[in-house]
Amino acid sequence: MKLLVCISKAPDTTSKISFTDGDTKFDENGVQYIVNPYDEWYALVRALELTEANGGTVTTITVGTAADDPTIRKALAIGATDAVRVDAEAKDPYFVAKQIAEYAKANSFDIVLTGKETINYNGAQIGSMVAEMLDQPFVSLAQKLEVAGNIATLERDVPGGAEVVEVNMPFVLSAAKGMAEQRIPNMRGIMAARTKALNVIPALETAELTSIVSYSMPAAKSECKYIDADSMTELVELLHNEAKVI
Amino acid sequence: MSVLVFIEAKGKISKAAREAVTYGSKIGATTAVTYGDADAASLASLGDNGATKVLVCRNLSEGNDQQLTKLIAAAAKNCGADIIVVSQDQLGKAVAPRVAASMEAGHVSGAIALPDTSNGFIVKTNVFSGKAFANVSVNTSKKVISLLPNSISPESTGENAEVEEFNPDLGSAGITVKEMKTQGEGVLLPEAELVVSAGRGLKGPENWGMVEDLANTLGAATACSRPVADIGWRPHHEHVGQTGVAIRPNLYIAAGISGAIQHLAGVNGSKTIVVINTDSEAPFFKAADYGIVGDAFEVLPKLNEAMRTFKASQN
């Protein structure tokens, strides 16, 4: 079984979010980067479980610069076989998807796995775009994945519930909570990761279909108004007359 | 500008669908495209939200990403649309980026406002789990916009749309649905305007009756924190937060939830937040508009009583 897992870095959940250069750039000052949790905990770990059970390889792919290498080494330490980095700043989602799709096309994988979204841009775009470029089915928001022969069975989130679906390989999926449990890399994995292959390949040129022109922050919340536990009628009045939400 | 809005219309027309059609009609002449079994009268009612025409594909019963992409692309061609609007629910997340890639159109994910066309085409979006906004410029002539629920109020024009059957060749389905697990009756959480949520402070699943009572009085959806879903007190689809569902209701009432940063990431788009907690130091109070320091077991029934009195006075 030959699996490709898309790995992206993301600021740690507790990072302070602020912007610089006239609110046009994310301020990386003091920000600790981690492997995007959906890519790591769910997509990568499930891919490793499957190849451990059935044999095969797990390659990771990242579109980024040398600044991404520590996150890629972390994925290798958790257990990926080898890694590919497409050497370019991740521009818009279409650019990133194009790089991944071109690599996947040239190396034909049974399953391409992505996290359901990154925790910084929350775009949830890459998996779906890659699937279109590969002309393969896309199973979004998968919480379970089992493989038997050439057929995969998945459970995924749909409006108003969940559904169990079957799909023939090859296909693309996005992984959500439930797919696997987080793995902490051990010392042996960390040592092995130093010598595993991290292949840096050049990027394909594509036009930038979208670009972020500026950022802004939500208006500061006003102070919390405390209401006595015995004055629920007052709360209802505030919700009706002041907040106007009921 | 000509706009195509893709909606899912299984049985009744959802609020999210009416929002997406309203959003489209604010940009230009809007055609809606859908599939499934909704009757012609319900589809015609999309005219009330600004659609002039509704194209319905009757050959497709399951929402399959590859076939829907073909359906949307064919419909866009049919009505000459440059802009495609999709509601960003689970199905929208599967389909919209794919549609954009197929047309080499710029895709805006997580739109929360109408485009600003004064200088280019710029759409405000939610990023960093609702902690910031990004203004995204779309540089292509064809554009796909994924709209977050509760970003615009559905409008009512009193018009009816013309409904037309539309059955282009969609190829085969790559995905076969084996089983559907529906959450049952009740308001769908991602599109709910009012949400009552509770956490570990409720001590056990047997105590959820008071959460449901308040939700019923309000016509609200119920939700929960991650630990509560993880230990199986409540179903997974009710979990709001970073790894669960992100919601943006008008009112979010949280009882017995401390307000960890991961939970806030799923609810900080809420217009008004009410927090009920015994611990006056709970971090959630910093994000709250109204706070009640008290025991959920006493506060929830009292709040329910006050709501019932209020509701009765409204009728």
List, for residues B140-160, the tens digit of each pLDDT value.
999 999 999 999 999 999 999
Alpha-carbon Rg for chain B, nearest whole angstrom, is 21
Smallest CA-to-CA distance from B247 within B152, B153, B131, B148 is with B148
**Same-domain check for residues B147 and B34:** yes
pLDDT at B293 over 80: yes
Smallest CA-to-CA distance from B88 within B13, B25, B7 is with B7
pLDDT at B1: 87
Q: Are A60 and A75 in contact (CB under 8 A)?
A: yes
List, edge to edge, every strand of the sheet that includes A82-87. A198-202, A82-87, A57-64, A2-6, A111-115, A171-175, A138-148, A151-158, A161-168, B175-182
**Same-domain check for residues B310 and B196:** yes
**Same-domain check for residues B151 and B109:** yes
pLDDT at B187 over 90: no
pLDDT in tens, B213-269: 999 999 999 999 999 999 999 988 899 998 889 999 999 999 999 999 999 999 999
Task: For an interface test with A, give the residue of B8, B14, B87, B93 to mutate (most A CBs within 10 A).
Answer: B93
- Chain B residues with CB inside 8 Å of A207's CB? 139
pLDDT at B63 over 80: no
pLDDT at A161: 83
Domain limits for position B306: 189-314
CA angle A21, A26, A32 (to 5 degrees): 135
Residue B176 included in any domain: no
Q: Which residues contact B73 (CB under 8 A, 6 or more apart)?
A: B99, B102, B103
- The average pLDDT across B48-69 equals 93
Q: For chain A, what are the domain ranges?
A: 2-217
CA distance B313 to B307: 10
> DSSP character for A66?
G
Number of structural domains chain B divides into? 2
Asked if the Cβ–Cβ distance from B176 to A165 is below 8 Å, we say yes
Q: Which residue of B140, B179, B288 is in closest CB contact with A163?
A: B179
Residue A54 is inside which H or E element, if any? helix A45-54
pLDDT at B23 over 80: yes
Q: Which residue of A129, A159, A246 is in closest CB contact with B97?
A: A129
pLDDT at A158: 86
CATH code of residue B74:
3.40.50.620
Instruction: Give the nearest chain B residue to A234 (CA atoms).
Output: B306
- Chain B residues with CB inside 8 Å of A218's CB? 130-133, 268
A window 160-189, beta carbon within 8 A of B:
160-168, 171, 174, 176-178
**Same-domain check for residues B151 and B202:** no
**Same-domain check for residues B32 and B148:** yes
Residue B292 included in any domain: yes
Residue B170 included in any domain: no
* Band of residue B44 on the pLDDT scale cut at 50, 70, 90: very high
CATH code of residue B280:
3.40.50.1220
User: Crossing angle, helix B90-103 and helix A126-134, to 10 degrees?
Assistant: 50
pLDDT in tens, B120-141: 999 999 999 888 999 999 999 9
Question: Is B262 an 8 Å CB contact of chain A?
Answer: yes
Q: Which residues contact A188 (CB under 8 A, 6 or more apart)?
A: none
CA distance A148 to A196: 29
- Chain B residues with CB inside 8 Å of A176's CB? 243
CA distance A150 to B153: 46
CA B205 → CA A166, B186, B197, B301, B306, distances in Å? 33, 18, 13, 16, 24
Q: What is the DSSP secondary-structure string of chain B? A: -EEEEE---SSSPPHHHHHHHHHHHHHSEEEEEEESS--HHHHHGGGGGTEEEEEEESS--S--HHHHHHHHHHHHHHHT-SEEEEE-SHHHHHHHHHHHHHHT-EEEEEE-S--B-TTS-EEEEEEGGGTEEEEEEE-SSSEEEEEPTTSSPPP------EEEE--------SEEEEEEEE--SS--GGG-SEEEEE-GGG-SGGGTHHHHHHHHHHTPEEEE-HHHHHTTSS-GGGBBSSSSB----SEEEEES----HHHHHHHTT-SEEEEEES-TT-THHHH-SEEEES-HHHHHHHHHHHHHHHHHHH-
More confident position, B10 or B260: B260
**Same-domain check for residues B154 and B215:** no
Q: Are B46 and B18 in contact (CB under 8 A)?
A: yes
More confident position, B130 or B275: B275
Rounded to 10 degrees, the C-alpha dihedral A191/A196/A200/A201 comes to: -160
The CATH homologous superfamily to which domain A2-217 belongs is HUPs (3.40.50.620)
**Same-domain check for residues B116 and B208:** no
Q: In tens digits, what is the pLDDT along chain A, a chain of 246 residues?
A: 999 999 999 999 889 999 999 999 999 999 999 999 999 999 999 999 999 999 999 999 999 999 999 999 999 999 999 999 999 999 899 999 999 999 999 999 999 999 999 999 999 999 999 999 999 999 999 999 999 999 999 999 887 788 999 999 999 999 999 999 999 999 999 999 999 999 999 999 999 999 999 999 988 888 999 999 999 999 999 999 999 999
Token pair in block for residue A168:
């023939």
The question of ipTM being above 0.90 is answered as yes
Residue carrying structure tokens 């996290």: A115
CA A161 → CA A26, A68, A143, A156, distances in Å? 36, 36, 12, 9
**Residue type at A13 in one-letter notation:** T
Say how many C-beta atoms besides its own lie within 10 A of residue A218's C-beta: 12
Instruction: Give the nearest chain A residue to B128 (CA atoms).
Output: A120
pLDDT at A87: 98
**Same-domain check for residues B17 and B102:** yes
pLDDT at B151: 94
**Same-domain check for residues B110 and B224:** no
Token pair in block for residue B201:
């402070």
pLDDT at B184 over 80: no
Tell me the average pLDDT of chain B.
95
